[in-house]
């Protein structure tokens, strides 16, 4: 019975939003890249770099929002590198992306070691504090769930709406989706697919950087070189789960986070009646199961992973 | 992701000048090979002891950090080829390969953190047995919990993690037999945000004192105004008001024993785990006496003295808690 009561506890849903936030940023970022036709497997490394550089900015005296901005800019730079190799040069998006992940992870560690003094446990910053919104705080249940959330979580939620609106309600969104479906047709309409793809990969990578920064600037207050722990790969899977739609990306991230937060509580509630490994597996099993169900209906952007070359049919 | 740094104490230059000095006075050349960054709590204990010994001129210390399992045997060979006298590291992920490398370099001494047995004359092992400190911290936690519920957040239930959490539980049971003990594992060694979530989940389940085998656990306690206990290193400065006790682990006794063996020409192919225990000064409790009730501290101190004198042995239980 305890196991069911947990589902109605504010503590669970409070944790769900916090666990989901980096996934929402990362999934929206990967989704934007893929909508324009570019798979970005650099996500894991870009999130690591964002986590490092955002934290380092604050550690060096910058403000928290400056840190997020720097993480976004650095993410965009890695996006430019990825786009430069895969869009005009048309190199393999898989190989380039994995290369960027290795490069960005190693570079994060290197810069961290150069700049930050060695200590027994890594130095801390003053991370984002929960913000109180006057009227919302009084809503029962929801108010309590939102009470301990930080500003980047609200930013992530707002971005879902913004990206949905841009992709499906604006000429720019139409051009992006067209570039991902049929870049030749897009070019015939006067859209430059090379520029648009590059811009989307940069903007998407910027979001990945912010997602990583959330880990060191809100979820925790120190940087560890390996702390992204596969969250980037989960985002790549969530994009497929979401069928490349921002609203579903939010749902997928929340669903995954809910399983994760729930299993952490079940470990305590069931007092180890079940091996803990089963709980740890639960979010991933749920993701695979959901993917199998959703992917049947998924409409993959038709030009995803196909380099665009002018005049080529 | 390998970086190498060399720490050369002024003593080396001094030893060079005093060429006539006895051979045993010359600093021993020691290499540390860390699978993780040296900020990782466990590695920081080794690194600190090695740097301290280097500063005293006992050893010349150089190290590599963030050495992945695939690179680890190569790093061992490189240091052995350079003629390093003693290699300190961790063979948890490369137990077989590390022993193969040691067999190839019989003149180099290897002393590794390991879950396995020593091998040959030159491959010694040590365990991280700071369970004495964990037991004593558990005694305080049992006496202090107001909800009669405490929690432990661990990485993965490997023997040395289980040992600690079980010793903490035994300490809690000694002072509070009715207390509930919640145990969570996060399934990874480096995910502080996840350890924090696990800690919050335990607080939601009623725990008011958390034993953080992993960093991040105390952040949960800090957020909710609960208390926490650290492991391996002293977390009091990082979480003032929250962390009131730490199950400390000191590597220096192990290191000194290994250095003495190498300098005396004795084989290092043995277990050094005894030097991690409280009687050898390898483990202890660091705590804030003001945070705990006086009678709890008194009982704990009495037990501590018994452990150090050998009159009481902290139970060694490496089974998965639960």
pLDDT of residue A268: 81
All structural domains of chain B with their residue ranges: 3-126, 131-248+282-309
A130 in a structural domain: no
Whether B109 shows a pLDDT value over 60: the answer reads yes
Residue B1: list chain A partners with CB under 8 A: 105-106, 109-110, 225
A175: pLDDT confidence band, cut at 50, 70 and 90? very high
Nearest to A220 among B151, B192, B205 (CB): B192
pLDDT of residue B4: 54
For residue B41, give how far its alpha carbon lies from the nearest alpha carbon of chain A (Å). 6
Residue A157 is part of which domain span?
2-115+147-295
Whether A135 shows a pLDDT value over 80: the answer reads yes
- As a whole number, mean pLDDT of residues B113-118 equals 93
pLDDT of residue B299: 97
Whether A140 shows a pLDDT value over 60: the answer reads yes
Phi, psi of A234 (to 5 degrees): -65, -40
A132 in a structural domain: no
Residue B4: list chain A partners with CB under 8 A: none
Residue A113: list chain B partners with CB under 8 A: 3, 37
Nearest CA in chain A to B44: A120
CB contact under 8 A, A109 and B1: yes
CB contact under 8 A, A105 and B41: no
> Which residue is it, tokens 């539980």?
B169
Exposure string (b/e) for A158-167, b if CB count within 10 Å is 16 or more?
ebbeebbebb
> Which site among A21, A152, A257, A268 would you substitute to test the B interface, given the most B Cβ atoms closer than 10 Å to its Cβ?
A268
- For A152-164, what is each residue's pLDDT tens digit? 999 999 999 999 9
- What ipTM goes with this model? 0.93
pLDDT of residue B12: 42
Phi, psi of A78 (to 5 degrees): -65, -35
Exposure string (b/e) for B92-131, b if CB count within 10 Å is 16 or more?
bebeebbbebbeebeebbbbbbbeeebbeebbbbbbbbbb
B6: pLDDT confidence band, cut at 50, 70 and 90? low
CB contact under 8 A, A224 and B39: yes
pLDDT of residue A221: 96
B25: pLDDT confidence band, cut at 50, 70 and 90? low
CB contact under 8 A, B321 and A220: no
Which of these ranges, A259-263, A268-272, B127-131, B134-138, has the smallest mean pLDDT? A268-272
Whether B10 shows a pLDDT value over 70: the answer reads no
- For A66-117, what is each residue's pLDDT tens digit? 999 999 999 999 999 999 999 999 999 999 999 999 999 999 999 999 998 8
Whether B21 shows a pLDDT value over 70: the answer reads no
Residue A6: list chain B partners with CB under 8 A: 204
A128 in a structural domain: no
Q: Are both B3-126 and B131-248+282-309 of the same fold?
A: yes
Nearest to A113 among B3, B48, B200 (CB): B3
Nearest to B216 among A220, A264, A269 (CB): A220
* CA dihedral sign of residues A190, A193, A194, A197: positive
A272: pLDDT confidence band, cut at 50, 70 and 90? low
CB contact under 8 A, B193 and A119: no
Which of these ranges, A5-19, B2-16, B165-179, B243-257, has the smallest mean pLDDT? B2-16
For residue A213, give how far its alpha carbon lies from the nearest alpha carbon of chain B (Å). 12
- For B231-273, what is each residue's pLDDT tens digit? 999 999 999 999 999 999 999 999 999 999 999 999 999 999 9
Nearest CA in chain B to A280: B187
Q: How far is residue B124's CA from residue A170's CA, in Å, rounded to a whole number?
A: 67
Whether A283 shows a pLDDT value over 90: the answer reads no
CATH 3.40.50.2300 at B3-126, yes or no: yes
Residue A121: list chain B partners with CB under 8 A: 39, 41, 44, 215, 233, 235, 238
Nearest to B39 among A18, A121, A264 (CB): A121
A309 in a structural domain: no
- For B29-81, what is each residue's pLDDT tens digit? 999 999 998 989 999 999 999 999 999 999 999 999 999 999 999 999 999 99
B322: pLDDT confidence band, cut at 50, 70 and 90? confident
A4 or A20, which is more confident: A20
CB contact under 8 A, B322 and A113: no
Number of structural domains (chain A) is: 1
Q: How many CB pairs under 8 A join A and B?
A: 108
Residue B246: list chain A partners with CB under 8 A: none
Got the DSSP string for chain A?
Answer: -HHHHHHT-HHHHHHHHHHHHHHHHHHHHHHHHHHTT---TTHHHHHHHHHHHHHHHHHTT--HHHHHHHHHHHHHHHHHHHHHHHTTS---HHHHHHHHHHHHHHHHHHHHHHHSPP-SS-----PPPB---TTGGGSTTHHHHHHT-BHHHHHHHHHHHHHHHHHHHSHHHHHHHHHHH-HHHHHHTT--HHHHHHHHHHHHHHHHHHHHHHIIIII-SS--TTTTTTHHHHHHHHHHHTTT-HHHHHHHHHHHHHHHHHHHHHHHHTTTSS-HHHHHHHHHHHHHHHHHHHHTT----TTTT----TT--
A221 in a structural domain: yes
CB contact under 8 A, B183 and A272: yes
Residue B197: list chain A partners with CB under 8 A: 15, 18-19, 260-261, 264
A283 in a structural domain: yes
> Which site among B43, B184, B207 would you substitute to test the A interface, given the most A Cβ atoms closer than 10 Å to its Cβ?
B184
A272 in a structural domain: yes
> Which site among B194, B202, B215, B224 would you substitute to test the A interface, given the most A Cβ atoms closer than 10 Å to its Cβ?
B194
A137 in a structural domain: no
Pairing state between β B28-33 and B86-90: parallel
- For B180-224, what is each residue's pLDDT tens digit? 999 999 999 889 999 999 999 999 999 999 999 999 999 999 999
CB contact under 8 A, A280 and B185: yes
Q: How far is residue A46's CA from residue B222's CA, in Å, rounded to a whole number?
A: 30
Whether A185 shows a pLDDT value over 50: the answer reads yes
Tokens of B20: 């006539």
Residue A276: list chain B partners with CB under 8 A: 157, 184-185, 187
CATH number of B131-248+282-309: 3.40.50.2300
CB contact under 8 A, B192 and A224: yes
CB contact under 8 A, B193 and A121: no
Looking up residue A87, the CATH number of its domain turns out to be 1.10.3470
Residue B3: list chain A partners with CB under 8 A: 110, 113
């Amino acid at each position: 019975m305890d196991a069911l009561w947990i589902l109605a506890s504010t503590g669970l849903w409070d944790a769900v939003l916090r666990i989901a936030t980096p996934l929402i940023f990362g999934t929206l970022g990967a989704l934007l890249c893929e909508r324009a036709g570019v798979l970005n497997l650099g996500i894991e490394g870009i999130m690591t770099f964002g986590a490092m550089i955002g934290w380092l900015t604050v550690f060096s005296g910058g403000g928290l929002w400056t840190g997020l901005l720097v993480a976004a800019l650095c993410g965009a730079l890695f996006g430019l590198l990825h786009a430069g190799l895969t869009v005009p040069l048309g190199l393999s998006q898989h190989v380039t992306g994995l290369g960027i992940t290795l490069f960005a992870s190693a570079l994060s560690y290197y810069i961290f070691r150069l700049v930050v003094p060695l200590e027994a446990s890594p130095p801390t910053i003053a991370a984002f504090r929960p913000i109180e919104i006057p009227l919302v705080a009084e809503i029962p249940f929801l108010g309590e769930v939102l009470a301990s959330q930080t500003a980047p979580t609200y930013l992530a939620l707002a971005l879902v709406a913004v990206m949905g609106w841009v992709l499906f309600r604006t000429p720019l969104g139409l051009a992006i989706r067209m570039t991902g479906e049929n870049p030749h047709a897009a070019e015939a309409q006067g859209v430059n697919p090379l520029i648009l793809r590059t811009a989307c990969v940069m903007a998407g990578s910027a979001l990945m950087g912010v997602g990583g920064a959330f880990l060191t600037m809100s979820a925790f207050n120190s940087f560890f070189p390996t702390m992204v722990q596969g969250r980037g790969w989960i985002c790549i899977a969530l994009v497929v789960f979401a069928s490349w739609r921002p609203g579903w990306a939010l749902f997928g991230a929340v669903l995954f986070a809910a399983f994760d937060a729930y299993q952490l509580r079940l470990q305590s509630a069931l007092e180890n009646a079940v091996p803990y490994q089963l709980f740890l597996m639960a979010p991933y099993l749920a993701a695979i199961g959901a993917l199998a169900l959703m992917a049947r209906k998924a409409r993959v952007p038709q030009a995803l992973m196909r380099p665009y070359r002018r005049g080529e049919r | 992701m390998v970086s190498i740094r060399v720490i050369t104490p002024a003593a080396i230059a001094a030893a060079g000048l005093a060429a006539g000095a006895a051979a045993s006075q010359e600093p021993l050349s020691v290499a540390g090979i860390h699978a993780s960054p040296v900020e990782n709590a466990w590695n920081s204990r080794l690194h600190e002891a090695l740097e301290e010994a280097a500063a005293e001129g006992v050893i010349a210390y150089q190290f590599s950090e963030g050495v992945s399992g695939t690179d680890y045997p190569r790093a061992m060979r490189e240091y052995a080829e350079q003629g390093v006298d003693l290699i300190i590291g961790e063979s948890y992920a490369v137990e077989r390969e590390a022993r193969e490398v040691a067999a190839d370099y019989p003149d180099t001494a290897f002393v590794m953190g390991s879950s396995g047995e020593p091998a040959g004359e030159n491959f010694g092992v040590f365990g991280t047995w700071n369970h004495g400190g964990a037991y004593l911290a558990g005694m305080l936690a049992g006496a202090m919990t107001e909800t009669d519920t405490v929690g432990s957040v661990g990485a993965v239930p490997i023997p040395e993690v289980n040992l600690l959490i079980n010793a903490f539980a035994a300490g809690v049971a000694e002072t509070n037999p009715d207390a509930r003990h919640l145990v969570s594992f996060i399934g990874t060694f480096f995910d502080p945000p996840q350890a924090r979530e696990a800690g919050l989940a335990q607080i939601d389940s009623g725990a008011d004192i958390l034993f953080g085998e992993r960093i991040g656990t105390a952040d949960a306690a800090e957020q909710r105004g609960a208390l926490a206990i650290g492991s391996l290193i002293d977390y009091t400065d990082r979480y003032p008001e929250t962390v009131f006790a730490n199950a400390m682990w000191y590597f220096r006794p192990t290191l000194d024993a290994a250095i003495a063996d190498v300098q005396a020409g004795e084989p290092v192919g043995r277990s050094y785990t005894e030097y991690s225990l409280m009687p050898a000064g390898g483990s202890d409790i660091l705590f804030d006496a003001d945070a705990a009730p006086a009678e709890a501290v008194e009982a704990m101190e009495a037990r501590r003295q018994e452990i150090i004198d050998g009159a009481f042995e902290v139970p060694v239980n490496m089974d998965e808690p639960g």
